Amino acid sequence: MQMKSMSKLSVVSCQLPVNAPASQPDNGQRTTNNSFAVAGLVLFLMTSCGGDPNSPGMEYMPDMYRSPAVEAYVDYGQDPYYFTEDSARVQRDRPSAKLPPAGTIAFASDPAKVAYNMPYPYPDTNEGYEAAGLGLKSPIAMTEATVEKGKVLYEKFCDHCHGAKGEGDGSVVNNGGFPPPGSYAGPLKDVPEGKIFHVITYGKGMMGSHASQVNKEERWLLVQYVKYLQNGGKMTRDGAVAATAVPPAAN
Ligand code: HEC
C-alpha cells in the first residue's frame, strides 16, 4: 500500500524536468530518491498546517510582508508574527510614528503662521479658562471673508449641537435628548473670545474638546463666527473688529 502511493508520487516528480534530466538513465535508485524527496517535501509542508489554530503559521520571506523601511502607524513589535521577544524589542525600539518629545515646536514655513505652533499657555483648569478670557486675543482680524470661513467650519463641527444661529437647537439636541447649550445671543452673549477659543480647545461640561478636529487657525475662525452670532448675525461689535494685536504666546 505504502509502496503504491510512493510510486505514484515518483511518477509525478519524474515529469518535472529538473528531477529527470534526459541525459541520465532513469534507474530504480534515482526514482526512490525522488520519492523520498517528494514525501519529505509533503511532510514539511504539512507540518506548517498543524498546531495552534490561532497561529498564522510559518512565514516565507517575512521581509516581503514587513518592510525594512520604517512606516507610519505600524505597530512595531506588537504584531503576532515576531519570532522571539528579543526581535520584538528591537522592532519596538525603532523610531516610527512616535509622539515628538514634550516642548517640540513644529516648523512653519509661513512666518505668519509661526504663532499657531507655539504652545498653548493656558491650562485646562477653571483658572486657565478665566485667564484665557482676560488675556487671549484673536490674531485674525474679523472680516467678512474670515467670518465666512468660520461659518463653513461651524456648520461642520458645531451646528449639530448649537444650531445654525447658535440658539442651542441643533439636530443632536432636538433628536437625541442632548442637553441644549445656551444661546450665543442669550446667556452666552458675553463670553469673550479667549474663553471661546479655550472651550473649543479643551471642551466644557458636556461639550468635548475639538482640538483634534480643528487646528488653532481654524479655532480662531470659529471664534469669529461665534462672535458674529453673539452679535445677532452682524459684523460690528465692540472689540470684534479691533482684535488684531497678538501677544506672541497668546495663541
Ligand atoms: C456635542 C454637542 C456640542 C458640540 C459639537 C459643540 N458644542 Fe459648544 N457647547 C455644548 C454644550 C452642552 C455647552 C455648554 C457647556 C457648559 O457650560 O457646561 C457648550 C458651550 C459652548 C460655549 C460656551 C462656553 C462658555 O464659556 O460658557 C461656546 C463658545 C461653544 N460651546 C462653542 C462651540 C463651538 C465653536 C463648537 C464647534 C467647534 C462647539 N461648541 C461644538 C455642546 C456642544
Residue nearest to atom 13 of ligand 1 (CA): 181
Q: Into which CATH architecture does domain 118-250 fall?
A: Orthogonal Bundle (1.10)
In this predicted model, which residue has the larger pLDDT, 248 or 171? 171
62-66-71 Cα angle (round to 5): 170
Coil, helix or strand for 61? Answer: coil
Give the three cell numbers for residue 25. 538513465
Contacts of 172 (CB under 8 A, 6+ apart): 160, 161, 178
117, 106 Cβ separation under 8 angstroms: yes
65, 81 Cβ separation under 8 angstroms: yes
Query: How confident is the model over 227-246, as pLDDT tens digits?
Result: 999 998 888 654 444 444 34
Distance CA 125, CA 237 (A): 29
Query: How confident is the model over 149-207, as pLDDT tens digits?
Result: 999 999 999 999 999 999 999 999 999 889 999 999 999 999 999 999 999 999 999 99
All structural domains of the chain with their residue ranges: 2-92, 118-250
- Centre of ligand 1 to C-alpha 207, Å, is 5
Q: Is-above-0.75 flag for pTM?
A: no
Contacts of 149 (CB under 8 A, 6+ apart): 221
- For residue 142 and ligand 1, the question of a CB distance below 6 A is answered with no
Query: How confident is the model over 65-78, as pLDDT tens digits?
Result: 766 677 776 666 66
- For residue 133 and ligand 1, the question of a CB distance below 6 A is answered with no
245, 137 Cβ separation under 8 angstroms: yes
Please report which confidence band the pLDDT of residue 129 belongs to, taking 50, 70 and 90 as the band edges.
Answer: very high
The pLDDT assigned to 30 comes to: 62
Q: Give long-range contacts, CB 8 A cutoff, 24+ apart: 42-51.
A: 42/9
The pLDDT assigned to 179 comes to: 92
- For residue 229 and ligand 1, the question of a CB distance below 6 A is answered with no
132, 194 Cβ separation under 8 angstroms: yes
Residue nearest to atom 18 of ligand 1 (CA): 205
Residue nearest to atom 5 of ligand 1 (CA): 158
Residue nearest to atom 7 of ligand 1 (CA): 207
Using the structure block, give the residue that is written with the C-alpha cell 517535501: 41
Out of 153, 156, 160, 162, give the residue to mutate to test ligand 1, the one with the largest number of ligand atoms within 8 Å of its CB: 162
